[in-house]
């Protein structure tokens, strides 16, 4: 029964499309333009939200209310902004967004799950969905409505700094892992029966499939580079994961910084409007990447009116401005009034944005749900993350003689040496997009390091010796049963991770060589991608484990090293011998990897003698 006292757009019993039409009809051009703007937290002022009802606010990587902010700090900040937005003339609530790409990684103390490349080693869609559900809960606990995840890039060249954000080089593996969308948004998300909108009904969040399209296929893996291929190749390799996301009702899609055959995606009407919205029927909204439209001109952001008209006319609905929103609004209004952007395009964009806001129940549930504070980093989520860690490990070598495997290790050995730059570093374990945009070394958040996990698992009589940088002195006065050496990459994000060389950083090969000559050694690689192991080094190592970027629950590594569980992971990406071979993917003619896609050994615990 319609509520006569409320304007239709405020009446939750009205059909979504009626509410969209009613609200749109009440909006001025300036208000419509404001809804198409997403601004960063640091410029989200009362005037920006009450006076110019911007559509959305985001926290960039690391942009928190304060250092080690609590869920309450986040909820207070976002609810305060929401009150400003609701005080605007039409009271349109904002969507607040953040990159929760492996758990709620902007939040100190959140459960940090393994990055996507690790999950690709498991290839379990149900696990992806469960991780999505847990992530959504921790994101909602802070009052955030929307995460810029999943990244469904198909990384074809590991020199790309975002290789670890891709589930795999293999399209079908990425497709399997898109089930995270159902975990994040709930299922069926857009088919919620009235009164059960995502934000309240089941503690879900809005997902964002990114980066459309071909972000993982650029020449030489260059970040924000150019993907050169036919449309058929683009469809076969990079498009299919989006079909799976659409089938699960993904509400938003982010455009890629990259170009396709020289045409920037941010101004690509064919791919965004004709294909994504037309042929594939996407009904949510497309958001630009961070200053993505600015990159349409050189130097970045010059000729801003062209950047706006090219991107909005191509079909981008919301612009991640993120700072100079007054300039954006002024130019967008000018472009519409001067006829360079049609009002029908503006109405289409705003309808899409409002549709998502109505469907998820934002008008009815604009504020945080403070009953969720305790889910952040809860035991249940830690257990889930620990399961993901142990299942993602890939055993690449077990024993110089296959008949004499070194794994599983004896947890009651007399003395264990744990060494390496990555043995006791939660920051390196988590990698980029953790607490800060690019991540960092050190005790950046709560979690269990490899060393702590080994200490926890080892027997009471077992001595665990830790040497971050072992030397000859490490061995001069005592013997070890065996050594565990954890090496790997520093933390990085996006272009900071683009590499032309992929040797073991921090002189890890020298460290390994020092240790392997003295004691049976298991090497654990903490990295966002395969690294080069020269044959002579590999021959000296007794066992080699790819641990990827496992996140906060290092206990999952000890669970497998000591045989509580067998290895399950298999390579989601080709392990090359040399970067000179790249790009090299399964199916290529000259396919000569060190370890092929899908490779992974087991310890076969059941037939242990």
Q: Quick one: how far is CA 308 from the chain centroid?
A: 27
Least spacing, CB of residue 82 vs ligand GLC, in Å: 20
Least spacing, CB of residue 180 vs ligand GLC, in Å: 15
Binding to ligand GLC by CB under 6 A, coded x per residue (else -) over 94-123, reads -----x------------------------
CA–CA separation, 92 and 350 (whole Å): 12
Between 160 and 595, CB nearer to ligand GLC? 160
Binding to ligand GLC by CB under 6 A, coded x per residue (else -) over 341-380, reads ----------------------------------------
CA–CA separation, 216 and 162 (whole Å): 8
Between 266 and 499, CB nearer to ligand GLC? 266
60 interacts with ligand GLC by CB under 6 A: yes
210 interacts with ligand GLC by CB under 6 A: yes
The answer to whether 490 is a known catalytic residue is no
Binding to ligand GLC by CB under 6 A, coded x per residue (else -) over 255-294, reads ----------------------------------xx----
Between 184 and 335, CB nearer to ligand GLC? 184
Spot the catalytic one: 138, 317, 494, 553: 494
CB 343, CB 66: distance < 8 Å: no
What SS3 state is found at 232?
Answer: helix
Between 127 and 253, CB nearer to ligand GLC? 253
Least spacing, CB of residue 444 vs ligand GLC, in Å: 18
271, 261, 316, 263: which is closest to 292 by C-alpha?
A: 316
User: Sign of the CA dihedral 572, 574, 576, 580?
Assistant: negative
Between 60 and 558, CB nearer to ligand GLC? 60
61 interacts with ligand GLC by CB under 6 A: yes
What SS3 state is found at 144?
Answer: coil
Which residues does 238 contact at the CB level (< 8 Å), separation at least 6? 153, 154, 171, 213, 214, 215, 216, 217, 227
Between 98 and 574, CB nearer to ligand GLC? 98
- Taking the C-alpha atoms of 268, 269, 270 and 276 in order, what is their torsion angle to the nearest 10 degrees? 100
Between 290 and 428, CB nearer to ligand GLC? 290
CA–CA separation, 157 and 294 (whole Å): 26
Least spacing, CB of residue 37 vs ligand GLC, in Å: 15
The answer to whether 289 is a known catalytic residue is yes
CA–CA separation, 114 and 132 (whole Å): 12
CA–CA separation, 78 and 76 (whole Å): 6
CA–CA separation, 350 and 112 (whole Å): 34
Least spacing, CB of residue 18 vs ligand GLC, in Å: 33
Helix (H) or strand (E) holding 212: strand 208-212
31 interacts with ligand GLC by CB under 6 A: no
Binding to ligand GLC by CB under 6 A, coded x per residue (else -) over 117-156, reads -------------------------------x--------
Residue with tokens 């604009």: 366
Give the pair of three-digit tokens for residue 22: 């009613």
Helix (H) or strand (E) holding 557: helix 555-561
Spot the catalytic one: 169, 170, 215, 289: 289
Binding residues for ligand GLC, how many (CB under 6 A)? 7
Q: Which residues are catalytic?
A: 289, 494
> Which residues of the shown chain bind ligand GLC in the complex (CB under 6 A)?
60-61, 99, 148, 210, 289-290
């Amino acid at each position: 029964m319609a509520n006569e006292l409320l304007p239709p757009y405020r009446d939750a019993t009205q059909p979504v499309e009626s509410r969209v039409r009613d609200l749109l009809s009440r909006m001025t051009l300036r208000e419509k333009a404001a809804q198409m703007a997403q601004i960063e937290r640091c410029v989200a002022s009362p005037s920006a939200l009450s006076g110019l009802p911007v559509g959305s606010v985001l926290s960039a990587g690391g942009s928190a209310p304060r250092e080690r902010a609590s869920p309450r700090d986040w909820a207070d900040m976002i609810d305060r902004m929401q009150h400003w937005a609701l005080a605007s003339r039409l009271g349109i609530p904002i969507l607040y967004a953040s990159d929760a790409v492996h758990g709620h990684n902007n939040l100190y103390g959140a459960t940090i799950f393994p990055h996507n490349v690790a999950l690709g080693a498991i290839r379990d869609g149900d696990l992806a969905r469960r991780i999505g559900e847990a992530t959504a809960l921790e994101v909602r606990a802070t009052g955030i409505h929307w995460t810029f995840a999943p990244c469904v890039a198909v990384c074809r060249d590991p020199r790309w700094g975002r290789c670890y954000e891709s589930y795999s080089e293999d399209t079908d593996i990425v497709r399997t892992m898109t089930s995270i969308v159902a975990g994040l948004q709930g299922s069926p998300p857009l088919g919620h029966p009235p009164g059960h909108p995502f934000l309240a009904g089941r503690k879900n969040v809005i997902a964002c499939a990114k980066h459309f399209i071909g972000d993982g296929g650029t020449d030489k893996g260059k970040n924000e580079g150019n993907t050169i291929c036919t449309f058929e190749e683009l469809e076969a390799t990079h498009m299919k994961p989006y079909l799976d996301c659409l089938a699960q009702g993904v509400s938003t899609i982010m455009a890629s910084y990259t170009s396709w055959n020289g045409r920037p995606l941010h101004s690509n009407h064919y791919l965004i409007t004709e294909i994504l919205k037309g042929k594939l029927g996407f009904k949510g909204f497309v958001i630009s990447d961070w200053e993505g439209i600015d990159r349409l001109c050189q130097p970045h952001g010059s000729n801003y009116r062209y950047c706006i008209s090219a991107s909005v006319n191509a079909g981008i609905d919301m612009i991640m401005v993120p700072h100079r929103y007054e300039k954006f609004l002024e130019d967008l209004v000018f472009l519409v009034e001067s006829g360079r952007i049609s009002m029908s395009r503006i109405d289409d964009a705003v309808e899409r944005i409002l549709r998502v806001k109505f469907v998820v129940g934002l008008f009815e549930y604009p504020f945080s749900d403070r009953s969720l504070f305790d889910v952040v980093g809860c035991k249940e989520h830690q257990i889930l993350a620990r399961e993901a860690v142990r299942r993602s490990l890939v055993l690449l070598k077990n024993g110089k003689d296959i008949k004499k495997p070194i794994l599983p290790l004896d947890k009651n050995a007399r003395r264990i040496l744990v060494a390496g730059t990555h043995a006791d570093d939660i920051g390196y374990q988590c990698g980029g997009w953790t607490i800060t945009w690019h991540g960092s070394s050190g005790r950046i958040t709560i979690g269990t390091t490899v060393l702590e996990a080994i200490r926890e698992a080892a027997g009471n009589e077992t001595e665990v010796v830790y040497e971050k940088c072992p030397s000859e002195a490490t061995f001069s006065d005592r013997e070890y049963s065996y050594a565990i050496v954890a090496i790997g990459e520093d933390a990085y994000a996006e272009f900071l991770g683009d590499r032309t060389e992929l040797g073991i950083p921090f002189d890890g090969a020298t460290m390994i060589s020092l240790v392997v000559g003295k004691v049976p050694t298991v090497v654990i690689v903490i990295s966002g991608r395969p690294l080069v192991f020269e044959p002579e080094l590999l021959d000296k190592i007794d066992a080699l484990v790819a641990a990827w970027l496992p996140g906060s629950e290092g206990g999952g590594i000890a669970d497998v090293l000591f045989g509580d569980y067998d290895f399950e992971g298999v390579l989601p990406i080709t392990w090359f011998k040399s970067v000179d071979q790249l790009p090299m993917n399964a199916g290529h003619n000259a396919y000569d990897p060190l370890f092929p896609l899908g490779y992974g050994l087991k310890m076969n615990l059941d037939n242990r003698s």
